[in-house]
């Protein structure tokens, strides 16, 4: 069965793989996030997966006896790295249970590759079973993590996770569908399209982030970085920041109380271990773990790019408790630099009694008390 334009799919595949690698590599460079570094490495392995249409013109031919093993090694490497990277995007780190999962998967992969060199497997379907499940499952898992925790829904950026999810689902069925004569060309065609869709979404997400209509910011607080000792003091001098359009709120406040004061154009990051992901749409409220400082930084940077200009932080003590003062102050100073560069306002509310003298001096040096 011949599909119109199918002769172009191998080249579309090749271009899409390198486009994905370039996009996620730039994201890793931009955020310095370990998860994106791991995903970038996996994407490079995928991009280097040379096909016959590339190797043959170069006079390079793979030994057929070695191909049964060589063709499966990238699947395991790619899958393990993708799952590892997705753990970092979701949790901000690799926990003990994650190392157990990854170790078990690595051992299973080693045993499977060893068995491929024997005559245990009697058919191509059996040989492809575990590698395809690892590859496809990893793509589906990463797509779900991106869709739930990273990508803004309702934007063209969703092409990135959904392209990966569809490509993963296709790979899961590969051991069976690859050897169905009428479906094989269709599957190859769909794989190229899904990878291209993911590449388009990744490029949009990384290089052309969505910028909605400018957020209304009247009235707005004065520009600068300010230190307050209580929420009451802040609201007396600057007004209820939660109700000012274009404000990003980082808080531990009880949401039932907080929602009464929120403007529909307020963005809230509720710092908690109890829940994850989007909780409300209008106003937009996300629950995020206190240990995911790198992800929180990235989300706030995207908010600044979308027009938000006031950042109100009243959860620093909790961040410090979970991450230590050094990591928390790095987060705060990173935030300060981004806000100042955008000509915005950063308001920090902290009780100085929770700090020692050295920590208090650092905070007071970087933030001015509002008079």
pLDDT in tens, 103-151: 999 999 999 999 988 889 888 888 899 999 999 999 999 999 988 777 7
**pLDDT(1) > 60:** no
Predicted pLDDT of residue 4: 56
Predicted pLDDT of residue 371: 66
Predicted pLDDT of residue 224: 83
Predicted pLDDT of residue 79: 96
Tokens of 97: 């249970």
DSSP string, 69-105: HHTTHHHHHHHHHHHHHHHHHHHSS--HHHHHHHHHH
**pLDDT(185) > 90:** no
> What is the rounded CA–CA span in Å between residue 131 and residue 224?
53
Instruction: Report the phi/psi class of residue 118: left, alpha or beta, with left for phi > 0 and alpha for psi in -120 to 50.
Output: beta
152-271-318-30 Cα dihedral, nearest 10 degrees: -10
The listed range with the strongest mean pLDDT (56-70, 161-175, 281-295) is 161-175
Q: Which residues contact 1 (CB under 8 A, 6 or more apart)?
A: 181, 182, 185, 186
Cis peptide bond prior to 283, omega within 30° of 0:
yes
**pLDDT(21) > 90:** yes
Predicted pLDDT of residue 154: 67
174-179-182-188 Cα dihedral, nearest 10 degrees: 40
**pLDDT(30) > 80:** no
Average pLDDT value for the chain:
83
**DSSP-derived secondary structure letter, 263:** -
Strand partners, 288: 271
With CA atoms as reference, report the closest residue to 318 among 250, 221, 219: 250
**pLDDT(295) > 60:** yes
Q: Which residues contact 266 (CB under 8 A, 6 or more apart)?
A: 242, 243, 244, 245, 247, 248, 249, 283, 284
Predicted pLDDT of residue 50: 58
Looking at CATH, the fold of the domain delimited by 224-369 is given as Rossmann fold (3.40.50)
Tokens of 127: 């040989």
Tokens of 248: 């990003």
Q: How far is CA 361 from the centre of its chain?
A: 35
The ranges assigned to domains in the chain are 6-207, 224-369
What confidence tier does 2 reach under pLDDT thresholds 50, 70, 90? low
The listed range with the strongest mean pLDDT (163-177, 228-242, 244-258) is 163-177
> What is the rounded CA–CA span in Å between residue 118 and residue 32?
43
Q: What percent of the chain has pLDDT over 90?
A: 27
Q: Decide: 68 and 127 in contact? Cβ < 8 Å.
A: yes
Q: Per-residue pLDDT tens for 203-240?
A: 988 887 654 434 444 456 778 888 888 877 877 777 67
Top CATH class of 6-207 equals mainly alpha
Sign of CA dihedral 57, 17, 92, 303: positive
């Amino acid at each position: 069965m011949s599909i119109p334009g199918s002769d172009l799919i191998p080249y579309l595949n090749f271009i899409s793989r390198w486009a994905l690698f370039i996009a996620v590599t730039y994201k890793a460079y931009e955020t310095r996030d370990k998860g994106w570094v791991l995903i970038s490495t996996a994407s490079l392995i995928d991009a280097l997966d040379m096909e016959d249409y590339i190797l043959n013109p170069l006079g390079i031919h793979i030994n057929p006896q070695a191909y049964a093993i060589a063709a499966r090694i990238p699947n395991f490497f790619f899958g393990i790295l993708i799952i590892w990277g997705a753990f970092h995007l979701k949790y901000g780190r690799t926990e003990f249970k994650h190392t157990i999962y990854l170790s078990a998967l690595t051992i299973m992969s080693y045993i499977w590759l060893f068995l491929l060199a024997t005559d245990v497997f009697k058919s191509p379907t059996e040989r492809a079973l575990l590698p395809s499940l690892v590859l496809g499952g990893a793509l589906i898992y990463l797509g779900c993590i991106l869709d739930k925790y990273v990508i803004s829904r309702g934007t063209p950026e969703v092409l990135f996770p959904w392209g990966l999810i569809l490509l993963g689902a296709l790979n899961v069925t590969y051991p069976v569908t690859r050897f169905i004569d009428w479906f094989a060309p269709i599957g190859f065609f769909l794989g190229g399209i899904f990878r291209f869709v993911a590449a388009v979404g990744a490029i949009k997400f990384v290089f052309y982030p969505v910028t909605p209509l400018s957020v209304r910011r009247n009235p707005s607080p004065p520009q600068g970085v300010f230190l307050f000792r209580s929420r009451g003091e802040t609201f007396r001098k600057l007004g209820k920041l939660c109700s000012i359009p274009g404000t990003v709120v980082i808080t531990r406040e009880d949401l039932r109380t907080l929602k009464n004061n929120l403007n529909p154009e307020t963005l809230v990051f509720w710092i908690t271990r109890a829940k994850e992901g989007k909780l409300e749409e209008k106003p937009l409220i996300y629950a995020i773990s206190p240990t995911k400082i790198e992800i929180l930084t990235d989300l706030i940077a995207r908010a600044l790019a979308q027009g938000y200009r006031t950042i109100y932080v009243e959860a620093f003590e909790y961040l410090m408790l979970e991450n230590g003062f050094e990591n928390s102050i790095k987060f705060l100073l990173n935030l300060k630099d981004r806000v100042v560069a955008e000509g915005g306002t950063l308001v920090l509310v902290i009780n100085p009694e929770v700090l020692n003298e050295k920590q208090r001096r650092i905070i007071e040096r970087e933030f001015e008390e509002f008079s």
